Structure 1
Amino acid sequence: MGKIIVSGASGHFGHATASGLLDRGAEVIALSRNVDKLADLKARGADVRAADFDDPAGLMEAMKGGEKLLLISTLRVGTRVEQHRNAVEAAKANGVKHIVYTSVVGGGLAEHPGVEQHDHYATEQIIRESGIPFTFLRNSLYSEAVSTAMAIPALLAGSKPDNAGHGQVAMVSRDDCVAMAVEVLSGEGHENTAYDVTGPELLTIPQAMAMVSEKAGKPIELQQVSDEEMYLYFDSLGVARKASDVVPDGPIPWASEGMVTFGQSIREGYFAVLSDDVERVTGRKPRSLSSVMDQHKGEWPL
Structure 2
Amino acid sequence: MSAPTTRPDTTPATAPAATPAPAAPPGRVLVTGATGDVGTALVDELTRLGTPFRVLARRPGQVRGFTERGVDAVEGSFEDPAGLREALRGCEQLFLNTPPSPHQFRWNRDAVDAAVAAGVRHVVKVSASDANPRSAIPWARDHALADEHLRRSGLAHTVLRAGAFTKNLLVEAAAVRRGWLPQSSGHGATAWVDVADVAAVAARVLTDPAVRGGTGEDGRTYLLTGDRPLSYPEVAEVLTQVLGHRVRYLHVPAPLFHGVLRASGVPAWQARGLVHQFVDVVRRGHDGGRRCSDDVLDLLGRPARTVADFAREHRAELGAA
How many Å separate the matches in 2 of 1:161 and 1:194? 32
Q: Report the CA distance between 1:121 and its aligned residue.
A: 0.9
Are 1:142 and 2:165 matched, yes or no? yes
Are 1:110 and 2:128 matched, yes or no? no
The secondary structure found in structure 1 opposite 2:56 is: strand
The secondary structure found in structure 2 opposite 1:130 is: coil
The secondary structure found in structure 1 opposite 2:152 is: helix
Cα distance, 1:258–1:289 mapped onto 2, change above 3 Å? same
- Check whether the contact 1:167–1:267 (CA below 8 A) recurs between aligned residues: yes
Instruction: Compute the TM-score of the two structures, normalised by the length of structure 2.
Output: 0.81
Deviations 1:22-54 (A, max 9, x none): 322221121111253355654565431111111
Match of 1:268 in 2: 284
Match of 2:274 in 1: 259
Greater mean alpha carbon deviation, residues 126-135 or residues 9-18: 9-18
Spell out the pairing of 1:1-302 with structure 2 (5 A cutoff): 2-39=27-64, 41-42=66-67, 46-76=71-101, 78-107=102-131, 109-146=132-169, 148-150=170-172, 152-156=173-177, 158-189=179-210, 190-191=212-213, 192-242=219-269, 255-264=270-279, 265-269=281-285, 270-301=288-319
Greater mean alpha carbon deviation, residues 222-231 or residues 83-92: 222-231
- Check whether the contact 1:35–1:48 (CA below 8 A) recurs between aligned residues: no
The secondary structure found in structure 2 opposite 1:165 is: coil
Cα distance, 1:238–1:178 mapped onto 2, change above 3 Å? closer
Deviations 1:65-87 (A, max 9, x none): 111000012232x2221112221
- Check whether the contact 1:22–1:44 (CA below 8 A) recurs between aligned residues: no
- Check whether the contact 1:200–1:287 (CA below 8 A) recurs between aligned residues: no
Q: Report the CA distance between 1:206 and its aligned residue.
A: 1.0
Paired amino acid for 2:79? D
Instruction: Compute the TM-score of the two structures, normalised by the length of structure 1.
Output: 0.86
Q: Report the CA distance between 1:209 and its aligned residue.
A: 1.7
- Check whether the contact 1:73–1:103 (CA below 8 A) recurs between aligned residues: no
The secondary structure found in structure 2 opposite 1:200 is: coil
Q: Report the CA distance between 1:238 and its aligned residue.
A: 4.6
Q: What percent of counterpart residues are identical?
A: 28
How many Å separate the matches in 2 of 1:261 and 1:229? 13
How many Å separate the matches in 1 of 2:251 and 2:127? 28
Give 5+ residue unaligned stretches, structure 1: 243-254
Give 5+ residue unaligned stretches, structure 2: 1-25, 214-218
Deviations 1:78-128 (A, max 9, x none): 222111222111111001111110101122x33444332112112112211
The secondary structure found in structure 2 opposite 1:138 is: strand
The secondary structure found in structure 1 opposite 2:290 is: coil
The secondary structure found in structure 1 opposite 2:223 is: strand
- Check whether the contact 2:33–2:39 (CA below 8 A) recurs between aligned residues: yes
The secondary structure found in structure 1 opposite 2:260 is: helix
The secondary structure found in structure 1 opposite 2:192 is: coil
Q: Report the CA distance between 1:141 and its aligned residue.
A: 0.9
The secondary structure found in structure 2 opposite 1:194 is: strand
Cα distance, 1:194–1:297 mapped onto 2, change above 3 Å? same
How many Å separate the matches in 2 of 1:24 and 1:223? 43
